[in-house]
Amino acid sequence: MSRIGKLPISIPSGVTVSVKNNTVTVKGPKGELSQYVNPDITVDVKDGQIEVTRKTDEINHRSLHGLYRSLINNMVLGVSQGYKKELELVGVGYRVSNQGQVIEFALGYTHNIFLQLPKEVKIETKSERNQNPLVILESCDKQLIGQICAKIRTFRMPEPYKGKGVKFVGEEIRRKAGKSASAK
């Protein structure tokens, strides 16, 4: 058995889970998510828990077993607690602002970068004096929020010499030494 796949998922109060036609739908106070599940994997909801089982011990079934258990667990946690990611803009003159679901970045290019976010993601920007600007993203969908954070990071990846760029709050950038003067 898969060590992750065999663990049952407990359903918190206020969350409902339904399985129909190989699709698991999870509803909670933060939103609603659904995930298609391979027909070789069975999902049972009973006694306030979700159990994921597989038909055989084939390699493909073993890998899908842990995968779908993790995806369903992420959905349950997302609709009950939600996910939150914070990005920090490190660099002179780097700014961020938002109007509704549109974020505007000034990252040292000749033009500003605009990004339209889906309605499932809540955005907040903070720009305080003598502090790096922050972008705070909240959503119930872990995959979606991770994908958006990765997209924002590609606008200006953190570089190893001065540490400038878009990074996660608390992330440590591996720094390199610059040029050293030649000793003659």
Which of the following CATH numbers is that of domain 83-168: 2.60.34.10, 2.60.130.10, 3.90.930.12, 3.90.1150.10?
3.90.930.12
pLDDT at residue 180 in the model: 79
Domain boundaries of the chain, sorted by first residue: 9-80, 83-168
Please name which of 115, 114, 120 lies closest in space to residue 138, comparing C-alpha atoms. 120
Q: Is 55 exposed, middle or buried (0-12, 13-18, 19+ CB in 10 A)?
A: exposed
Same fold, 9-80 and 83-168: yes
How many residues are there in the chain? 184
pLDDT at residue 3 in the model: 83
Please name which of 126, 145, 144 lies closest in space to residue 135, comparing C-alpha atoms. 126
Average pLDDT, integer, range 29-37: 94
Domain 9-80 has CATH 3.90.930.12: yes
Q: What angle do CA 91, 171, 105 make, to 5 degrees?
A: 35
Q: What CA–CA distance (Å, rounded) separates 71 from 176?
A: 37
Average pLDDT, integer, range 69-93: 94
Q: What CA–CA distance (Å, rounded) separates 94 from 96?
A: 7
Q: What angle do CA 167, 87, 125 make, to 5 degrees?
A: 145
Residue 114 pLDDT level (bands cut at 50, 70, 90):
very high
pLDDT at residue 181 in the model: 66
pTM of structure: 0.88
